[in-house]
Structure 1
Amino acid sequence: MSAPLVTILDDEPAIRTMLSDALEDAGFRTMAFARATEFEAALRSARPDICLVDLSLPDRDGLTLVHRLALEQGATVIIISGRAQVQDKVTGLELGADDYIIKPFDPAEVVARVRARLRRDSATPQSSETARFNGWVAHFDRYVMEDESGAETPFSHAEGEVLRLFLERPKRLISRQAMQEALGGAAGDSFDRAMDVRISRLRTKLREDPRNPRLIKTIYGAGYIFLGDVTWG
């Protein structure tokens, strides 16, 4: 079994070298790119386990790229950025990133975050990639939801993590703290707002009435509860 592949997209040569060296010393394979066009071309033949993406790119808007990676590729994305404002972090998480690391950083922290993300991704049995609930089929191997007519709606890796959490714990209250512990990331306003956005998007994709959702209920002051009947496999 080959080592996990981590791609690095950053226009600073020193950052690419530092991360490549640290990750390879930790046992990962790496591919590093200075431009988004080179990175996107490589994705036609490579399937990375983790994508490290800088937001300040010379040839493409980083946030747009993150959203496309998360939604169309179903990729696990960790943003590495010098943008330290809370709003940038929230926006990145809202657009589908799985984590956000602010520059300057210790490369050991990046290695630890990559390992933690891979542990969470591998913790779910690979045999449980399809779930049926209330007329929907969620295909976690392809990151799409299929309705009764066969029409498919894509979801991002980050949205898929939230959906899987609900489907694995139907009809049970899931607190904000439990979500943070299950999905990772630092607790706080940015995590809470990112979760709110992801849940809102899932409700929209499930064609829920935002004023009276049937499946994903908000229990104010406590958390969320998924009311569907779920069958895996």
Structure 2
Amino acid sequence: MTDAPLIAVLDDEPEIRRLLAAALEQAGFRTQSFGRATEFEAALRRITPDACLIDLGLPDRDGLALVHRLAADSGAAIIIVSGRAQVQDRVTGLELGADDYITKPFEPAEVVARIRARLRRPAQGAASRPQTLRFAGWTADFDRYLLIAPDGAETPLSHAEAEVLRMFTDNPRRLITRSQMLETLGGTAGDSFDRAMDVRISRLRTKLGEDPKNPRLIKTIYGAGYIFLAEIG
């Protein structure tokens, strides 16, 4: 099926690549697999994956640095699949822009379910939700993962940043609590989720030219959550 979502698998272990590709293709996804970061990065010039499964222990590149670059430059969902099980690795991966973190060993069915959850969420109600929204002189283009400034300058949004911005634009001038963010965006409750959300909101504020000490659009209500103050046009 040519319109099936494309999943890129980057892992230096051939058996894991085969295992993931088989499970994903059986579930109806298309896949392309890579054993080295250089091969994967070269392929990104000709393919546009909907999601990327990234191992951190790569032979030719730091996996976290790759995740950080992908989050800044790509609209793909990014899921780390790694043998690093320490909490700090999980926190760092999420802070650098990953949408999810799965530790090895894993069940292939769990990976498929996590990808489906990540790809399903932006599409919910897509037929009735405009993909281009305007607020306070800015334009958010969710189809192209772009934030367009009042002067026309374009800034790419990561998949995770676009999810957070969509959550705000869907709920303008309403308090959004941490529990509501967790329910809307998915994830696991705890410090790693909270820190990842803080980082993504900080990045959104930076891209929106906000004063970090006195933001106009995304207000923090300490102990409660956040409020997006712009009118949506």
Match of 2:180 in 1: 178
- Cα RMSD of the aligned pairs, angstroms, is 1.4
Match of 1:213 in 2: 215
Match of 1:62 in 2: 63
State the AA in 2 paired with 1:43. L
CA distance in 1, matches of 2:136, 2:24: 43
Match of 1:71 in 2: 72
User: How many angstroms does 1:155 deviate by?
Assistant: 2.2
What is the percentage of aligned positions where both structures have the same residue? 71
Greater shift in the superposed pair: 24-33 or 222-231 = 24-33
Q: Classify the secondary structure of the residue corresponding to 2:9.
A: strand
Match of 2:152 in 1: 150
Q: Classify the secondary structure of the residue corresponding to 1:14.
A: helix
- 1:88-120: CA deviations, max 9, x gaps? 111111111111101111111101111111211
Are positions 1:88 and 2:89 aligned together?
A: yes
Greater shift in the superposed pair: 180-189 or 134-143 = 134-143
User: How many angstroms does 1:144 deviate by?
Assistant: 2.2
User: How many angstroms does 1:121 deviate by?
Assistant: 2.6
- Number of matched residues? 231
Q: Classify the secondary structure of the residue corresponding to 1:114.
A: helix
- TM-score of the two chains, using structure 2 as the length reference: 0.94
- TM-score of the two chains, using structure 1 as the length reference: 0.94
- 1:171-216: CA deviations, max 9, x gaps? 0111101101111111111000000111111112212122221111
CA distance in 1, matches of 2:49, 2:149: 29
Structure 2 gaps, min length 5: none
User: How many angstroms does 1:223 deviate by?
Assistant: 0.9
CA distance in 1, matches of 2:149, 2:123: 27
CA contact (8 A) 2:56 2:64 kept: yes
CA distance in 2, matches of 1:182, 1:117: 11
Structure 1 gaps, min length 5: none
State the AA in 2 paired with 1:227. L
State the AA in 1 paired with 2:207. K
CA distance in 2, matches of 1:152, 1:202: 13
